Structure 1
Amino acid sequence: MKFVIWITGLFALAVLVGLAATVNNGYAILYLPPWRIEFSFNLLIVATIALIAVTYGALRLISLAAGLPAEVRRFQRQKHLREARHALRDAGIAFFEGRFQKAERAAIKATGNEHAPENKALALLIAARAASAQRDYDKRDAYLSGLDALPESLQLARHMQEAELRLEAKDALGALAAIERARSISPNLTNALRLELKIRLQQKQPEAVLLLTEKLLKAEALEPEQARRYRQAAYGQQLDTRINGPEILEWLRKVPEAERRLPGLVSRVVARLADAGEADQAAALLAETLADEDSATPELTRELAQLADQLTETRRLALMKAGEDWLKQRPRDHMLLLALGRLALCQQLWGKAQNYLEASLSIQPTLTAHAELARLFQQIGKEEEAAQHYHASLELALSQGL
């Protein structure tokens, strides 16, 4: 459609020019002494237009000729830039394919002709990661150092990448230094806080772990279950620095009540208190935890049973009384029945012990329950019944492949 309009317009213009030429019968005089030239005014118009066109064409050719070297240089730059972008793309794909040598080569090729600082930074980061994956830490550090010359806006990515790479290489101090630099740029960056949390846990700095856990939890950067595990690990590290029973008990009083009932932490505290000769205190902590259905676990009940022969008479009787209340809530808890049986056995309450242990066996047969019943019958002189339970425990062990 455009072509038809142009052709129609050109013909119309030609007709108008032809009509104007027939109407215009003037002439022009060019006087160059001693000559005098007369010619049509129409010819003068045509000649002027032709002269302008020729002059423009000549100047255009001269301009193109003069700009040719610059145009060649621009073309070369564009070609190299395209090659760099293709190399950057290939580096990223090769890295995610796990072809780290190819990724490193392509990334270095991309940095050679790349002018955009963001793309150059990306290429250097890929090269650093690829070198780290090949355990070539000198090259890794060299690539990271190459980022120093780039704009400040790209330094956060450099420091975060360096922190992750050094942490993977088990260089905790180097990773921590990189995180500090990253946090000086972005103080509340949650990924930096998460990395620091892992490092502080590895470095056994429980106070810092607890502080960072709370920060991340408030920022909704940690799930409650993850926070619970970090807290438990931190409290465990604090516990390891306590030497004797009074120190452990003093530390335990400072632990928040909700955290004090974490089953994993309770188990560790109980073991330490028992080793320190504070079996009664260990049993009191277990009783406090087992009284809560949400905190009670079979493992903690088993630990209570194992403590039975180390407890004082007063503590055993108190636990038996509390245990009967727990049984009302968990009547088919075979481990609780076993624990109560052991407590009664240590108190030489033979009838109660037998009832508890047989009730435990009726719910779920265990080696321990059979062994405790055998011990009970042996102590009261019923050798035949004791032998039956020893035989039953042996058959159970064989059936379980023990």
Structure 2
Amino acid sequence: MRALIWLIGIFALAVGVAMIAGLNDGYVLVVLSPWRAQISLNFFVVVLVVGVLLVHLLLRLLTRTLALPARVARWRERRRREKADNALHGAINAFFEGRFSQALKLASTAYATSPRAGMAALVAARAAHALHDEERYQEWLGHAAEQGKDGEVARLMTEAELAIDSRRFDVAAARLQTLREGGHKHIAMLRLESRVAQALGRWEELIHIVRQLRKHKALSEEQAAPKLRRGHIERMKQLVGDPPALAAYWKGIPAEELQDRALVERALALMARAGHAVLVRRHTERLLDERWDSALARLYACCAGSADDAGACLKKAEGWLEQHAQDGGLLFALGQLCTRAELWGKAQSYLEASLKLAPAVDTHLALAHLFDTLERPQDAQPHYRAAAEMVAGGTA
């Protein structure tokens, strides 16, 4: 429809021009002494229009001819960039496919021609690291560093990650510290920092980082719990020689983290060794009241730091005995508590009952020590032998 309208318009214009030209009897006189020329006004208009068009075309042709070298240069530059981008894309693709030699080759090509030289150098460095080529790895890291601030964060993150993979944790820590001083703080960086802190035994730093990751939903509760537990236990091991500091540290652990049964179980022995078992007693009793755990019940005797504590713990444990009479762990704890309270007969009964239900090395040793205390070496010796045989046989 549009083409038809244009066709009608052109014909109408042609008819109008023809009618006007037919009615026009004007002329143009051109004088160039001693010559004179007289031409029709219509012809002059046609010549003028055609002349202007020809001049315009000639000027455009001249302009394009003069601009041709620059256009060729731009075309070549565009082709060079396209090839460089294709090489970089191919290097990244080859790296993720596991073709590290090809990735290194393509990244080298891209580095020489691509405006994204920093990215190409990092891909080449990762490929060289995957090939265990330390010399070329360091060389490409140097090329990446030559790019200055452009891509510095990516370079430092790459160095830190690859240093961790090579177990050079001091180098990784230095690179991450540089990033932190630059004000950078993101999830990937925190993950790397947690690995470095764990490897270097920086337990308080590990706990702080894991809490941040959990807060930002980068770690689930199930993922964070083992890391927090490891951090707390290792830090408490460092503080065992300083009981006041250990007690202060335990009191500073958030309540939600003390819901971890394995943490309380492993901390109980450490706190008992430092004379602070009473601090763990409340948490142990709460966990056992909520959900029974024979292994944790077995350690309950550690909560008695003195004879008075032993009496209170014994009363609590005997209350559990009504529901868990056949629990070997609870019977062992009761035997230990009776020993501390110097209730020798009850202690022997509980330990022997525990031994029947769940034979264990520590139960045999507890009975042997009890008989030694009672000056009954003839009764102690069989338990020492049984404990030694279990250890030799690999039975806990």
TM-score, length of structure 2 as denominator length: 0.75
CA distance in 2 between counterparts of 1:322 and 1:298 reads: 15
Find 1:298's aligned residue among 279, 291, 294: 294
| 1:19 maps onto 2:16 in alignment | no
Q: Which runs of 5+ in 1 are unaligned?
A: 382-386
Residues 1:2 and 1:71: Cα distance change in structure 2 (over 3 Å): farther
Q: Which moved more, 1:169-178 or 1:231-240?
A: 231-240
Query: Which amino acid in 1 is paired with 2:81?
Result: L
Residues 1:359 and 1:216: Cα distance change in structure 2 (over 3 Å): closer
* Per-residue deviation, residues 5-64 of structure 1 (Å, max 9, x unmatched): 443333333222222221111111111221111111111111111211222222222222
Query: Which amino acid in 2 is paired with 1:322?
Result: K
CA distance in 2 between counterparts of 1:50 and 1:286 reads: 104
Aligned residue number for residue 379 of structure 2: none
Aligned residue number for residue 320 of structure 1: 314
Residues 1:242 and 1:286: Cα distance change in structure 2 (over 3 Å): closer
Find 2:153's aligned residue among 133, 152, 156: 156
Query: Which amino acid in 2 is paired with 1:37?
Result: A
In the alignment of these two chains, the number of paired residues is 377
Query: Which amino acid in 2 is paired with 1:169?
Result: S
8 A contact 2:337–2:347 mirrored in 1: no
Aligned residue number for residue 366 of structure 1: 358
Aligned residue number for residue 111 of structure 2: 111
Residues 1:148 and 1:205: Cα distance change in structure 2 (over 3 Å): same
Aligned residue number for residue 337 of structure 1: 331
> Equivalences for 1:191-230 in 2 at 5 Å?
191-230=188-227
8 A contact 1:269–1:282 mirrored in 2: no
Aligned residue number for residue 77 of structure 1: 77
Aligned residue number for residue 131 of structure 2: 134
* Per-residue deviation, residues 85-117 of structure 1 (Å, max 9, x unmatched): 2222222222221112222222232333323xx
Query: Which amino acid in 2 is paired with 1:326?
Result: W
CA distance in 1 between counterparts of 2:358 and 2:215 reads: 45
Matched residue SS, 2:46: helix
CA distance in 1 between counterparts of 2:65 and 2:175 reads: 54
| 1:165 maps onto 2:162 in alignment | yes
Query: Which amino acid in 2 is paired with 1:301?
Result: A
CA distance in 1 between counterparts of 2:346 and 2:265 reads: 30
CA distance in 1 between counterparts of 2:73 and 2:265 reads: 74
8 A contact 1:193–1:216 mirrored in 2: yes
Identity %: 27
Query: Which amino acid in 2 is paired with 1:291?
Result: E
**Deviation for aligned residue 1:143:** 3.1
8 A contact 1:166–1:175 mirrored in 2: yes
CA distance in 2 between counterparts of 1:187 and 1:38 reads: 85
Query: Which amino acid in 2 is paired with 1:299?
Result: A
TM-score, length of structure 1 as denominator length: 0.74
8 A contact 2:278–2:305 mirrored in 1: no
**Deviation for aligned residue 1:132:** 2.0
**Deviation for aligned residue 1:80:** 2.0
8 A contact 1:342–1:353 mirrored in 2: no
**Deviation for aligned residue 1:324:** 0.7
8 A contact 2:297–2:333 mirrored in 1: yes
**Deviation for aligned residue 1:228:** 4.0
Q: Which moved more, 1:187-196 or 1:255-264?
A: 255-264
Aligned residue number for residue 254 of structure 1: 249
Q: Which moved more, 1:349-358 or 1:125-134?
A: 349-358
**Deviation for aligned residue 1:269:** 5.0
CA distance in 1 between counterparts of 2:166 and 2:215 reads: 30
Query: Which amino acid in 2 is paired with 1:324?
Result: E
**Deviation for aligned residue 1:181:** 2.4
Residues 1:332 and 1:124: Cα distance change in structure 2 (over 3 Å): farther
8 A contact 1:334–1:360 mirrored in 2: yes
Residues 1:351 and 1:298: Cα distance change in structure 2 (over 3 Å): closer
Aligned residue number for residue 384 of structure 1: none
CA distance in 2 between counterparts of 1:237 and 1:356 reads: 32
8 A contact 2:239–2:245 mirrored in 1: no
| 1:180 maps onto 2:174 in alignment | no
> Equivalences for 1:238-317 in 2 at 5 Å?
238-242=235-239, 244=241, 247-248=242-243, 250-256=245-251, 258=255, 263-266=261-264, 268=266, 281=275, 287-293=281-287, 297-303=293-299
Matched residue SS, 1:31: strand
* Per-residue deviation, residues 179-207 of structure 1 (Å, max 9, x unmatched): 12222333443432332232122222233
Q: Which runs of 5+ in 2 are unaligned?
A: 377-381
Residues 1:359 and 1:114: Cα distance change in structure 2 (over 3 Å): closer
* Per-residue deviation, residues 106-147 of structure 1 (Å, max 9, x unmatched): 2232333323xxx44433332222222222334334333434
8 A contact 1:337–1:359 mirrored in 2: yes
Matched residue SS, 2:36: strand
CA distance in 2 between counterparts of 1:16 and 1:330 reads: 115
